[in-house]
Amino acid sequence: MMPRLSNTTLSAVKGAALPGYDRSATRIGIVHIGPGAFFRAHQASYVDALLHRDPRWAICAVALKSTGVRDALAPQDGLYVLNELSAESRMRVIGAIREVLVAAEDYEKVFARMAATDTRMVTMTVTEKGYCLNAAGLLDEAHPDIVHDLQSPAQPRSLVGLLVGGLRQRRAAGEKPFAVVSCDNLANNGAVLRKATVAFAAHLDAALARWIENEVAFPRTMVDSITPATDDALRESVANATGVADAWPIKREAFLQWVVEDVPVMREADWASVGVTLATDVSVYDRAKLRLLNGAHSTLAYAGLLRGRETVYDAMTDKVLAGFVETLMREDFAASLGASPGLDVTSYIDALLTRFRNPTIRHLLSQIAWDGSKKLPVRLTGTIVEALNGGRRVDRMAVTIAAWMRFIARQAHNGVPIVDGDAALLTEIGKACNGGASHDVALFAKFEAVLPPAVVANSQFRTALESAYQKLGSPQTAL
């Protein structure tokens, strides 16, 4: 029977890089809430690299309710294998996680860890849903978990309730506050989480709320790396390569990015030495990701699907499409960024194109195409508006919008379900399309978030959109 990965079997591991530091000599400096796949592929990977030179930053991973990660990693002493996917894939054993707890089973131990002097940061990856926000982006005080936590603050079910409980104990112990570092893809995540945390605390203790608002750092961040789900094929591959069994290995693309607002706690370690970017203005990186990465992804998805492509890699083997997208990125999206202090836009585009051409990542265009009516307004519409106002060309960006419209019409006519919050209306519009550019564009103009009236009425854009729509309807799906 194959031995299980653990401290005692670590020396027998083959085919993978091992932690080059004494795990027993590390101290827990980070409590992470939500130890899912992305965290273990992303932040824990950075921390693992940092521990080779600074032992103060090991991780206590905390799940709010789920026991899955604890049950998988506790018998392995927190160790797991990370498979970095590229043309020359490599495996690493990550040793950054020293402790795994489940809050619902041991609140006292979790709060004690959060209140400990050595704990300098509490990070989290709980998805946007885990923040318990309302439509306005503020704390949803009617959310069942928030209602419960305000009534039973010693046994919180929510992220915000747990944070306030930890900060409350830390303040009572006379400790300096830890920094609260959101690593979720939430717009302006630090400021949003600060407001929610202060609002919750205000219901319990006005002085605590003021202390949190005035003393606790909530830096804004941006994270990026594709992390496919773990499956049995990965478990088997890891076991064959390393000679040990890992209950929950992780895989991700080789590309990795973590940008954090430059606050004092981030200067306590040499994060830059392991690839973390400390930035005065994280919004520069957010905007670049949204336009250069997400905007390009949407273009590849809608145009690629029309041209019979299935994945991002597959789309990038289409020389015409790949060339079009690269020009769009370098000439249109890059121009929309303006001054971008700290960001080398050319190098960032180079890195993105390398990611798109990674044959080991199966990123489905059909999945990227989901929820276009919600994604396109933030990925592309604002860029188009800025280009029109700045007197820049919009014909290539019009192709992306036109490809989305053609995609919707095709799905509707073929009876294929459309995955979108506005699927019913989109299906109705798609079925009503007759292929005529002027006719069909007028139908889609109902989606004012995607096509604001002022944009549709602009003759330059309207002409470009109708021209692109007509070309995309040809048998060759011309770009």
CATH number of the domain where residue 410 is located: 1.10.1040.10
Do 368 and 398 reside in the same domain of the chain?
Answer: yes
pTM of the model: 0.92
Q: In which element (H, E) is residue 50 found?
A: helix 43-50
Separation between Cα atoms, residue 433 and residue 453, nearest integer Å? 20
Mean pLDDT (whole number) for 170-181? 96
Do 134 and 206 reside in the same domain of the chain?
Answer: yes
Do 62 and 173 reside in the same domain of the chain?
Answer: yes
Sorting pLDDT into bands at 50, 70 and 90, what band is 193? very high
Question: What CATH number has the domain bearing residue 135?
Answer: 3.40.50.720
Phi, psi (degrees; rounded to nearest 5) at 20 = -95, 35
Mean pLDDT (whole number) for 56-71? 97
Do 58 and 113 reside in the same domain of the chain?
Answer: yes
Q: In which element (H, E) is residue 307 found?
A: none
The residue type of 45 is: S
| Joined tokens for residue 185 | 């893809």
Instruction: Classify residue 478: in a domain, yes or no.
Output: no
What pLDDT shows up at residue 274?
98
Do 40 and 141 reside in the same domain of the chain?
Answer: yes
Do 241 and 335 reside in the same domain of the chain?
Answer: no
434: Cβ contacts below 8 Å, ≥ 6 apart:
440
What percentage of the chain carries pLDDT values higher than 70? 100
Sorting pLDDT into bands at 50, 70 and 90, what band is 89? confident
Sorting pLDDT into bands at 50, 70 and 90, what band is 35? very high
| 337-382 pLDDT tens trace | 988 888 999 999 999 999 999 999 999 999 999 999 999 999 999 9
Identify whether the C-beta of residue 128 lies closer than 8 Å to the C-beta of residue 399.
no
What pLDDT shows up at residue 100?
98
Q: Where are the beta strands (DSSP E) in 154-284?
A: 179-182, 221-224, 250-253, 257-261, 277-279
Residue 475 has pLDDT above 80, yes or no: no
Which residue in 461, 427, 422 sits closest to 441, CA to CA? Answer: 461
Domain ranges, residue 41: 10-279
Instruction: Classify residue 264: in a domain, yes or no.
Output: yes
| Joined tokens for residue 364 | 């489905």
Q: Which of 217, 248, 279 is the last residue of a domain?
A: 279
Do 81 and 141 reside in the same domain of the chain?
Answer: yes
Instruction: Classify residue 405: in a domain, yes or no.
Output: yes
What pLDDT shows up at residue 478?
74
What pLDDT shows up at residue 340?
87
| 297-323 pLDDT tens trace | 999 999 999 999 999 999 999 999 999
Number of structural domains found in the chain: 2
Instruction: Classify residue 287: in a domain, yes or no.
Output: yes
Instruction: Classify residue 251: in a domain, yes or no.
Output: yes
Sorting pLDDT into bands at 50, 70 and 90, what band is 477? confident
Do 362 and 214 reside in the same domain of the chain?
Answer: no
Sorting pLDDT into bands at 50, 70 and 90, what band is 87? confident
What pLDDT shows up at residue 1?
80
> Which whole-number Å values give the CA distances from 39 to 35, 227, 230, 440, in the listed order?
6, 10, 13, 44
Separation between Cα atoms, residue 399 and residue 468, nearest integer Å? 5
Do 62 and 197 reside in the same domain of the chain?
Answer: yes
Q: What is the mean pLDDT of the chain?
A: 96
Do 273 and 325 reside in the same domain of the chain?
Answer: no
Do 216 and 309 reside in the same domain of the chain?
Answer: no
Separation between Cα atoms, residue 167 and residue 177, nearest integer Å? 7
Q: Which of 258, 279, 300 is the last residue of a domain?
A: 279
Instruction: Classify residue 418: in a domain, yes or no.
Output: yes
What SS3 state is found at 6?
A: coil
Mean pLDDT (whole number) for 398-426? 97
The residue type of 187 is: A
Do 385 and 439 reside in the same domain of the chain?
Answer: yes
Helix axes 159-172, 107-115, angle to 10 degrees: 60
Q: Which of 228, 257, 279 is the last residue of a domain?
A: 279
| 226-256 pLDDT tens trace | 999 999 999 999 999 999 999 999 999 999 9
β 221-224/28-33 pair status: unpaired
Instruction: Classify residue 2: in a domain, yes or no.
Output: no
What pLDDT shows up at residue 144?
97
